[in-house]
A and B are shown apart, each in its own frame.
Chain A
Amino acid sequence: MNKTNMMHDLKPERPELAPPLPAVMMVLPVLFYLSAAGAMGLGALFTVKTKQAQTDEQREMDGEQEVRRMIASLKQEQKVIDETHGKAREVEAWMDSTQPLMEIVSAVINSVKTGNTLSSLRLSRTAENPEHIEMRVQINSGGTGQKEETVQALVKEGYQTFKDDLITHNKNDRFGDVTYTATLVKNKASEE
C-alpha cells in the first residue's frame, strides 16, 4: 500500500493479518486534527479574551482610583465646610452673648420719675450663662413705686424679670430707699 494520505494510521507495511477497521473509523484521525485545531483556536480565543478582560479590569481600576481621588477631594471640602461651620457657630454663640446692655441702662434711667433718684445700677452676666443678666438697682427715693416703673420699662423693652427680690429698710415707707435685684432675660419674641 503505497498510497499516503492524511488518514494514515501509522501501520507499517506488512501483510494483512486481520481484517481492516471499518471505514467509519477513518473519522478518528479527522477528529484528532479537528480537536488539535480547536484546542489551538480556543487557546487563542481565551488568550485574547483574557487580555481584553485584563484591559477592562485595568480600566475599571483606573476609574475607581479616579473616583476615590474625587471622593477624597469632596471629603476634604466637606471637612473645610464643617470646620468653618464650627467656627461660625462659636462666633454666633459669642455674638449672642454680647447682647447690648445699653438698652437696659437707658430703660432704667428713663424710667426714673422726676423727683426720684437712683444711687446705683449694677448689671452683670457670667460667661456660662450670658443671656441671664443680673441687675441690682438701688433706688434712693421713689421706693416701690419707682421699682414698678422700672420693671414696666424693662418689660416694654422686651425683658422678663425673674428671681426678683426687693430689700427695703422701712416696709411702710412706699417712697423710701429700696434695693431691687432681678435676673433679666430678653424675650425672644421681642427680638424678632
Chain B
Amino acid sequence: MNSKHLACVLLFVVMCALTQGTLMLNQRWVTAMQSTSDAAARHETAMKEQSDTQTDLAKARNDTAGHRKYLEMWRQNFEQSGTESSAKNEFARMLKRFPGLIPFLSQTSTPVENKDMTYVNRRISSNVKLEGDAEKTILLLASIERELPTSRIAMLELRKGGKGNDVELDLAVEFPLLAAPPPAPEK
C-alpha cells in the first residue's frame, strides 16, 4: 500500500467517523426529544389528575360542609361524655341534683360495641331504679334529655309508687363512647 492508498483509507475512515458521529448525535437528540415529549405527557397527565382531584375535593368540601359543621357542633358534647368514667360521673351528677328521688339500685354495664361504627364505636348503659315524687321524676327525665343531649334513654318504666303522688322509675340511659385516639408517634 502506497501513501496514496493510505490517504484514501484514512479519508474513508474519517468520513465514516463523521457520518457515524453525526448519526449518533442525531439519535441522541431524537431520544432526548422523545424523553422530553414523554415527560411533558406525564406532566400533562399529572396536571389533569390534579385538576380532577381538586374538583373532587371541592365537591367533597361542598357536599360534606353541612355534616362537618354538624360534627363540630356536637364534638364537644361527645368528647365531654365520651369516656366511661365521664359518662358515669355525668349521670351520677344528674341524679344528685334530685335528692328527693331515692335510688335503690344503680349500676353501669360494661361497654358494648356499636355495630358498623368506628368513631362512636361503643356505648355504656347506666341503669337506675328510683322512687319519688312524680313531678320531680318527670323533671329528672326532662333534664336528662335536655342536659345530656348525647345520651339515649333506652328504657324507662314509670309505675305507680307506694304512696301519694310517688312513682317508681326504672331507667336505662345509654352513653356514647368515642374511639380512643391513635397513640402519638414517638419522637
Q: Which residues of A contact B (CB under 8 A)?
A: 10-12, 32, 35-36, 39-40, 42-43, 46-47, 49-50, 53-54, 56-57, 60-61, 63-64, 67-68, 70-71, 74-75, 77-78, 81-82, 84-95, 97-98, 100-102, 105-106, 109, 117-128, 130, 140
12 new A-B contacts at CB < 8 Å, known A49-B32, A94-B120, A130-B152: A60-B39, A60-B43, A67-B47, A74-B53, A77-B57, A81-B61, A95-B74, A105-B156, A106-B138, A120-B159, A123-B155, A124-B155
B64 at the interface (CB under 8 A from A): yes
Chain B positions within 8 Å of A98 at CB level: 145, 149-152
Q: With A82-B60, A84-B64 as given contacts, are A74 and B50 in contact (CB-CB < 8 Å)?
A: yes
- Bound complex: CA of A61 vs CA of B145, how far in Å? 60
Chain B positions within 8 Å of A36 at CB level: 14-15, 18
Can you list 15 A-B pairs, Cβ within 8 angstroms, ordered by A?
Answer: A12-B4, A35-B15, A47-B25, A53-B35, A57-B35, A57-B39, A67-B50, A92-B67, A94-B117, A95-B74, A95-B150, A101-B141, A117-B160, A123-B156, A125-B152
Chain B positions within 8 Å of A32 at CB level: 11, 15
B86 at the interface (CB under 8 A from A): no
- Bound complex: CA of A74 vs CA of B55, how far in Å? 10
Q: Chain B contact residues (Cβ within 8 angstroms of A): what range?
A: 35 or more
Residue of A nearest to B66 (CB): A88
Whether the pair A68, B46 counts as a contact (CB closer than 8 A) is yes
Q: Which residues of B contact A (CB under 8 A)?
A: 3-4, 7, 11, 14-15, 18-19, 21-22, 25-26, 28-29, 32-33, 35-36, 39-40, 42-43, 46-47, 49-50, 53-54, 56-57, 60-61, 64, 67-68, 70-71, 74-75, 78, 114-115, 117-120, 123, 138, 141-142, 145, 149-160, 172, 174, 176
Residue of A nearest to B143 (CB): A102
Secondary structure at chain B's binding surface: helix, strand, loop or mixed? helix
Residue of B nearest to A54 (CB): B32
Chain B positions within 8 Å of A106 at CB level: 138
- Bound complex: CA of A64 vs CA of B32, how far in Å? 17
Whether the pair A63, B43 counts as a contact (CB closer than 8 A) is yes
Q: With A53-B33, A101-B141, A120-B157 as given contacts, are A88 and B68 in contact (CB-CB < 8 Å)?
A: yes
Whether the pair A64, B39 counts as a contact (CB closer than 8 A) is yes
- Bound complex: CA of A125 vs CA of B151, how far in Å? 13
Q: With A67-B50, A105-B138 as given contacts, are A91 and B70 in contact (CB-CB < 8 Å)?
A: yes
Smallest Cβ distance from B116 to chain A, in angstroms?
9
Chain B positions within 8 Å of A43 at CB level: 21-22, 25
- Which 3 pairs across A and B sit closest by C-beta, in order of nearness? A53-B32, A60-B39, A88-B71
Whether the pair B74, A67 counts as a contact (CB closer than 8 A) is no
Smallest Cβ distance from A47 to chain B, in angstroms?
6
Whether the pair B28, A127 counts as a contact (CB closer than 8 A) is no
Selected from B19, B39, B60, B159, the residue in CB contact (under 8 A) with A78 is B60
Whether the pair A93, B117 counts as a contact (CB closer than 8 A) is yes
Smallest Cβ distance from A3 to chain B, in angstroms?
19
Chain A positions within 8 Å of B174 at CB level: 127
Selected from A64, A81, A94, A121, the residue in CB contact (under 8 A) with B176 is A94
- Bound complex: CA of A36 vs CA of B26, how far in Å? 16
Chain A positions within 8 Å of B7 at CB level: 10
